[in-house]
Structure 1
Amino acid sequence: MKKKHISKYHTLSFATIIIFIIVIFIAYNYYIFETKYIKREASRDLKSVSDIRACEISQWIRERIIDGNFIKASVPLRNFLLNPNDRENIIALKKRFEMFSLDSSYTTFRVFNKERDLLYSNKEYSVTISHHLLLSLEKSLESDSVILSDFFFDEFHKSILLELIIPVSNEGEILGFVLIDVNPEAYIYRTLQNYSIAQSTSELLLVRREGDDALFLNDLRFKKDAALQLRIPITAHEVPAIHAIKGDTGTVEGIDYRGERVIADVRKIPSTNWYIIAKVDISEINAPLRDKAFVLIFLVLFIFTILIAFLVIFWLTEKRALLVNELKSQRKMRLLGEYLNAIIESSSSAIYDLDREGNVKSIWNKSAEKMFGFKREDVIGKRLSIVPAEKDNEFSHLMSIIFEGKSFTDIEVERQKSSGERILISLSAAPIYNSQGNASGIVAIANDISERKRQEHEIEKKNMELSAAVLRLETTNEELQTSEEELISAEEELRTQVEEMEKSHRSLMESEEKFRIALKNAKIFVFTHNYELIYMWIYNPPEGLTHEMIIGNKDSDFLEKKEAEKVMQLKRKVLITGIPENCQMELIVAGRRCFFNYTIEPVFDKNNKVSGLLGAAMDITEKKNVEEELFQVYKMEAIGQLAGGIAHDFNNMLAGIMGNAEMLQFKLSNESSLLVNVENILKASEHASHLTSQLLSFARKGQYQRVSVSIHRIVSDVVSILESTIDKKITIEQSLKANPNTVVGDPTQIQNAILNLAINARDAIIKQSGKIIISTETLTLTKDYVEKFRKDIKAGQYVVISITDNGMGMTDEVKKHLFEPFFTTKEPGKGTGLGLASIYGTVKSHNGIIDVYSEAGTGTTMKIYLPLSVAELITEEKAFDIRSIDGHGKTVLVVDDEELIRETTLQILSKYGFEVLTAKDGREAIEIYKENMNHIDIILLDMIMPEIGGKETFKELRNINSNVKVILSSGFSAEGEARETINLGVNGFIQKPFRVNELLKKIGEILNQN
């Protein structure tokens, strides 16, 4: 028995020694690993910062060069150098420089002629050029290119500057040059002072080589006035700045200008002789390591001290460890479920805002109503009454903290409902800043945690009872032997607690399943990363991706390089700064263009260091597509309103021009040489009228008939026209399958729309043999289809007209602007850019839509959808004989706010025997009609007039005489407001500009009515 006891003792001693050696080995390797890890992480952080700042400075330089080239190409600058004494040239030059002076980087603008005489300066300045700039100036003038000089100290301003040198030439000859002072404080120095690294000794340096020295270009964190003053000789091999000017880039270790050992990352800024250095003291990054070393030593000694006791009660400790691990696992699952619930059910939190007096300002959501029992209308503008009286001091203290610019998250406070019931809430609050940057209010988010706190109290109570039982078990081996029955009882109690925890776990799993369903329906992709940005856990991956493709990989493993870099750059920023980020991002996922709302938050370890990320990405592609479609619709409507207004005013002017031209034509003899000029005026006016008709068609305000139209008859007419005009190498095919094929609309506008599309198809294949296919079909768009895919059209039956060619096709950029007025891809002089715009307006006027299917190099298909009609075709009415008009004994009242139109119409009607009265507005027309009602046979009334318009004037005239005969005239068509007036009982409508025969025909028709 004794030998057996000794053997066990020896075995235990040997095991203890082995375990102790293993502990020392692990501690040593952990120390080595931490040393390397800290340096590697510091190097990566420095590299990230230097890369970002180098790119930002490089981009800033490129923007200065672009500005310089824009100024170089400026016409006002060239005119000024050609004639510097011209006042208009000086004013134009000042305006151009004032536009660029909005950029705070630019301070002084100076203009010199080629003899280097100062011609202009926006500020007081020396007339001589700094000797620092002479070499750069010669280089710029020789190459005729814009150059940004190096840093130099300007003696006049006593400050460090850069100079933007802009040569100006005319047809290869240098006229002069512009010097613009660029203040590095405005961007470069500010960028370098934004360290973006948490360490207190971190610093960004900018250096260049000057002779055998490294010259510092910016003021340093620990040495002011160092810019262009501090030099380090090239013999100081250990200084990172010397590594830089020798061309060594990447991570280096050495001694900085203070004599401190540092780790640094060196990068060259592209297109410059500058180097950027991001550095930090090695002693600072190693500070956490020293603390860990003391902790390791303490742990080794502690482990050695208690190892024997732990081995003796090993079996008990194992059992307890299993139970504790099970409890931790269940607690972790519960916390994860709560976190997911916070992401998905964020709207369930009570959210409200307060002003400085504690009054609710404007936010009090339904969750707040539910949580506290107060309706929104009862609390807005009133002091918050959810704080118990004894908590007023606590509430005031929290308010003062927040208005000092601080915020807090998830503090536990007691509040009361409207019923007086006390509840515990988790409160997060932050200040709201006004435009002056002052805290003007508070936004708070509250969650009711009363039930959770009660459960935690119960669990804590049971844990304390468990810990007390375990401590009693561990007291001594003798007590353990004598307390076996107590241990069994404690185990039974633990088993009961575990069963209760399992029930809670099942409830938690059910709740988590509900969260998963919510995530699935909301298209939210939830994920976690480790520090290496490897996906550790995901839920609800985006469409086209699977768990297997994502778990254990990085974004670059399943996304294209460009797409992955966008996402990973955002995540690296959160890793470095430890600040949550929210942004919207466009990505190509599995070949599909998607939009996501990303929310990325850092995950901290027990040392408060970022150890990973937790994120959520909501797929908002469908919402984005709808927004883009609405934007396009609103844009086209706005352009249409502008085009309609321009065309209306232009038609008014054309009416006067054409009327006077026709009167001149009547008065001239047939032998007059001026007749040709008059006819040319009329032809040009007709052409201008056609252009305004196209604009009005686009704006859906042009002349518009409503008759039954056979689409097949129109297509046949279009094909006949095309076959007689286009190149025989181009074949035209028809496939007319629509049955029925009748629509209600304007046959001329529909024919012009189809003909213009066919002509565009011809132009697309004009340099090669090709084919144009015109086809029709009848299509039914259901209500479900329209609501889901085509919200710009109503459900019903449609005739679809397709015009297809195998020409050059179109790029996506061309398709974006296809229907905008004056947009054309044709050579100057070969197109007005109104054809497709008028087609768009025609189709919209007929309650239809037009679709474009095209890719560069593959041809184009244009599809017009027009609502189907079953009405019978209406035949054309018999032409009116103008010779039957006799105005003698008839009186016409002409009402128009345009004097030119009034006078022209008076002359025209007087020539045909009419007696004419005129009125400049509706009010005068009413007075004239009251006085001459028995003599006035008909009134020509303008639609758009100041004060009283045509519609209101007609109502007043009809009140005076219900049988009054009125012809309405307008630069718009008989639609919109004009249609409303016509429906009131107007006898006829004529659109400006009108020819003499059109006006006489309309008057004759109305006068001949019973």
Structure 2
Amino acid sequence: MAKKKPPRNNDAPRQNDLTGSLRSLPGSELERARLFLNMAGVMILALDNSGRVAMINRRGCEILGGESEQILGVNWFDHFIPEPRRAQVQRVFQGIVWEKQKSHEYLEGPVLTLQGEQRLIAWHNAVIRDDSGEIIGTLSSGEDVTEIRRAEEELRESRQLYQAFINANRDMIFVKDEHFRYLVANNALVEFFNRPLEDVLERTDFEMMEISAANRCRESDQRALNTNAVVVTEENVGQRIFETTKFTLMLKGDRVGIGGIIRDITERRHGEEERERLREQMALAQKMESVGRLAGGVAHDFNSTLSRIMRHAETALETMDPADPLHTELKEIRRSARRSADLTRQLLAFARKQTSMPRKLNLNDTVGGMLRMLEQLLGDHVQLCWQPGQQVWPVHIDPAQVDQILTNLCINARDAISGKGRVTIETKNLAVENEQLNLHAGFLPGEFIRLSVSDNGCGMDRETLAKVFEPFFSTKETKATPGLGLSTVYGIVKQNGGFIHAYSEPGRGSAFHINLPRHVDQPSAIRPTPVLETDSEKRETILVVEDEPAILKLGQRMLQELGYHVLTAGTPEKAIQVSSACSGPIDLLIVDIILPGMDGCELAAELIRQRPGSRVLFMSGYSENIIHKYSGLENKSRFIQKPFTIRELAASVQEALKNADPRS
């Protein structure tokens, strides 16, 4: 059957329109143009300003299913655009030729063939202008992507079925590329990582796990990749036992990746271990009974000796003049004996598997009673600085555990100092707000009493700091140290519902912040949270210099909420540029002490030379005294220690702005 030819538009074309322009070409040039266009593998289509087809190549005729005589001169929109989209597409076309809107350089849309079939075309479009610059039509190249998009849709459906299948599996299933980045992860694995799927894909284990665990995963990945063999490993994660099977598989582009299945085998292993556990229980019970008897005997004899020491000390104190220099020494002997008795009881509690005996304590009093002992522990070459906080809240903890915490931290601080140095012990109240939880892993919300021990010793790099609380990890060369000091401190803090935060840099010392929950005797009435003062009228300008982007952003938001105009800089060089570019006054400089390339004190001095009227507020994760030791800030009185709440920041900023001397 002959194909029906669409009715031709009878409007006679003008010589200055696109059709007339094409006809005006010399015959040889027109033939060459047709030859080139017919060689193209895509549709070439020219429309005049009225939407008539002025030119179409051979590939275009093939796509539309007709001859050029059937297509030339007809209205493109009436015959080749599906009716639901016709009016919209025609409006866009008219807007382009009338120069009311720009041409879409690329778009995809359906066309109708002469047989009524729809094909999806990917268009690249341009306008055609005459010699005077007037638009006389459009020129488009169109590629038939119908089959490509159909194949893509089928592939998408196939992937969805595949993903649904692996997501229904309770085992954790994954695929990694040759760089050990996750390409596929099922729901079980995503739930294990406790993060959205998009935060798992394209990431490595080092971005989602602790370094030690990521190293173990990388080692088994590498082994499977190098040996092209199936690698099976077992690992304990918390209370669960997982068996991981890894194997190589081919990826797109002849690349080799890693496939894996992680199965929870806890119940199976527990069943296998139950018989062994029963056999060991009797031996363990007998062993602990022997240890308990030994500890009890030693403790009994030791406590008897301590009792005599305490009794003789008390007798001497009663008969000695309080003004006698030995009176203070005897009181210290009595205090040390009582502390030793507490430690002996702690040994008994461990041997008999008894719990500790916490009680309500004031940390200032407890630490103050240990100072003489700690000074002797640190030695003559290390100065001990004690800075008790004002009106610190009470805590609920075994006093012997406080002894253990300070003893272990002071020993580590002493060993980190070569030559003369200083150890600072501080206490303060701390309220942890939700904003800080996003910046510091392990922090807990609520009210705490912070006990900080900082030193100006050799410090630690990030890799060492990440492992410092692991049992048996030690940086000391001698094998006589078991590496249990800091892990003991960590365990005590966790046992008492607190958290610990360490801060250190090589060559700048270390700071350990012990945070213990505030103890409240009786549930107090709920009081409304104090409202922060925010004044939309105050527009003091503050320049914040901080090299940690997250903390810089948080500080900027806090200050803006308080009504200040805030400038920020991530490096000393940027801070100097910002200061130089600012035409108005900068009322306050908030500067981190530890910055790349320039000490915070040096930066502040440089900025003060530029702006003598500016005031300074320093901030750092170290204690104020340790910072003074490093940076020559002995005369600086404006300092805030990280992490801080918005209330602490507001108070420090207000105090700094009231200070008339910017260098104080």
- Give the TM bin, normalised by the shorter chain: 0.3 to 0.5
Larger radius of gyration: 1
Higher helix proportion, which one? 1
